[in-house]
Amino acid sequence: MSDPRVNLAYAVCRGIARREATNFYYSFLALPRAKRNALSAVYAFMRHADDLSDDQTRSVEERRARLSSWLAEWHRVQSGTVSDDPVFLALSDAQKRFQIPPELLDQLVQGTSMDLEAAPPEIAPDRQAGGGTATLASVRVHRTFAELYRYCYLVASVVGLVCIRIYGYEDRRAEDLAERCGVAFQLTNIIRDVKEDASLRRVYFPEEDLAKFGLSVEDFLNHGGKRLDLERLRPLLAFEAERAREYYKSGFELIPLIHRDSRAALWVMVTIYSRLLEKIAKSNYDVLRRRVRLSAAEKFAILGRGLVRSILRTV
């Protein structure tokens, strides 16, 4: 007999996912109820960690402290402490039901906190550029793609590794493919959100890639993303998009390795994100004047195709 408190907790998490997960939630709808509940709990947990980390009304130190306190509370729940927090209650049930390793959930929180990490010592001193007011003191710079890959792993690939525990799989190749698929998702986010991220003093493109196209971190920070030159930026975005396309191949390769009742959901998720990337490319990478997104109608159409493919067993 199911616990009414757990059922209510899952309902709260589903509400959070429906309201906030503008892309992910469509794929949840293609899942059996228990799996949809579990993914909603994971999303709600991740969403709250993101909100604590991104709270611009608080100092970085306050955000770190609040995130650390919240994670400590979650650890107490994992150890058996009773909690009234619906997200913790639902996630605790989902973790047991689908045997989600606790270290993956810790890594989810670690990923959301990466933007709060201090800049490495070698770039910590302020550096003025062209008389502008922006500095690199509070910016964590990725020197190489390997460093960016590590960031993508923590903020996106770990989500994929949690998801496949819920989807179900036996072939260990699924883990590597889920990791690479997460990198594709995050590269797409980085390309789409370049203006917004620059306004928050965040530049995710590796310095080695910037240099390849005659750009620098200062080009982004000095203008807060408002006067970035699209003509100069476009070749970099096209380069990163092509890199993302290679990683998306892993997402489609992953689909037949997970349990059949979850394949439509994964197909919907990968298709929505890869279509978003192609929509950005079709706009000639004009991500500065508007935020490129798929409409609800486009996403429902993809969901419908995914469900039909599942019925016909072509996915």
- Let me know if residue 10 belongs to a domain: yes
Identity at 65, one-letter amino acid code: A
Q: Are residues 146 and 240 in the same domain?
A: yes
- Let me know if residue 79 belongs to a domain: yes
pLDDT of 222: 66
- Do residues 268 and 306 lie in contact, with contact meaning Cβ atoms separated by under 8 Å? yes
pLDDT at 309 over 90: no
Read off the pLDDT band of 139 (50, 70, 90): low
Average pLDDT over residues 127-137: 41
Q: How far is CA 85 from the centre of its chain?
A: 23
Which domain CATH number covers 92? 1.10.600.10
- Let me know if residue 109 belongs to a domain: no
**pLDDT 10s digits, 175-187:** 999 999 999 999 9
Distance CA 13, CA 39 (A): 9
Distance CA 293, CA 280 (A): 8
Domain boundary among 69, 101, 133: 101
- Let me know if residue 177 belongs to a domain: yes
pLDDT of 123: 42
Identify which has the larger pLDDT, 86 or 221.
86
Average pLDDT over residues 60-64: 89
3-state percent helix, strand, coil for the chain, nearest multiple of 5: 70, 0, 30
pLDDT of 10: 97
Q: Are residues 90 and 210 in the same domain?
A: no
Q: How many CB atoms lie within 10 A of CB 123?
A: 16
Average pLDDT over residues 213-219: 90
Q: How many CB atoms lie within 10 A of CB 169?
A: 17
- Let me know if residue 40 belongs to a domain: yes
pLDDT cut 90: percent of the chain above it: 72
Average pLDDT over residues 69-76: 95
pLDDT at 224 over 60: no
Q: What are phi and psi of 171, to 5 degrees?
A: -75, 120
Residue 28 belongs to domain spanning: 1-101
pLDDT of 100: 96
Distance CA 117, CA 142 (A): 12
Q: By C-alpha distance, which of 267, 249, 247 is closest to 258?
A: 267
Q: Are residues 80 and 228 in the same domain?
A: no
Distance CA 90, CA 45 (A): 9
pLDDT at 114 over 60: yes
- Let me know if residue 161 belongs to a domain: yes
Q: Are residues 286 and 153 in the same domain?
A: yes
**pLDDT 10s digits, 269-284:** 999 999 999 999 999 9
**pLDDT 10s digits, 236-246:** 999 999 999 99
Q: Extract the tokens encoding 152.
A: 């993508």
Among 51-65, 149-163, 216-230, 244-258, the least confident range: 216-230
Q: Are residues 96 and 123 in the same domain?
A: no
Average pLDDT over residues 45-57: 90
Domain boundary among 101, 128, 162: 101
- Give pTM, 2 decimals: 0.88
- Let me know if residue 111 belongs to a domain: no
Q: Are residues 90 and 134 in the same domain?
A: no
Structural domains in the chain (count) = 2
Q: Are residues 314 and 288 in the same domain?
A: yes
Q: Are residues 97 and 132 in the same domain?
A: no
pLDDT at 197 over 60: yes
Among 113-117, 119-123, 195-199, 273-277, the least confident range: 119-123
Mean pLDDT over each residue of the chain, to the nearest integer: 89
Distance CA 207, CA 151 (A): 14
Q: Are residues 171 and 304 in the same domain?
A: yes
Average pLDDT over residues 128-150: 66
Domain boundary among 32, 67, 101: 101
Q: Are residues 86 and 175 in the same domain?
A: no
Q: Are residues 165 and 300 in the same domain?
A: yes
pLDDT cut 70: percent of the chain above it: 90
- Let me know if residue 66 belongs to a domain: yes
Identify the sign of the CA torsion 102, 105, 110, 113. Answer: negative
Q: Are residues 161 and 281 in the same domain?
A: yes
Q: What are phi and psi of 258, to 5 degrees?
A: -100, 165
Residues whose CB is less than 8 angstroms from the CB of residue 1 and which lie 6 or more positions away in sequence, other chains included: none
Read off the pLDDT band of 314 (50, 70, 90): confident
Longest dimension (CA), the chain: 68
**pLDDT 10s digits, 78-105:** 999 988 999 999 999 999 999 999 999 9
At 169 the three-state DSSP class reads strand
pLDDT of 173: 97
Read off the pLDDT band of 201 (50, 70, 90): confident
pLDDT at 130 over 50: no
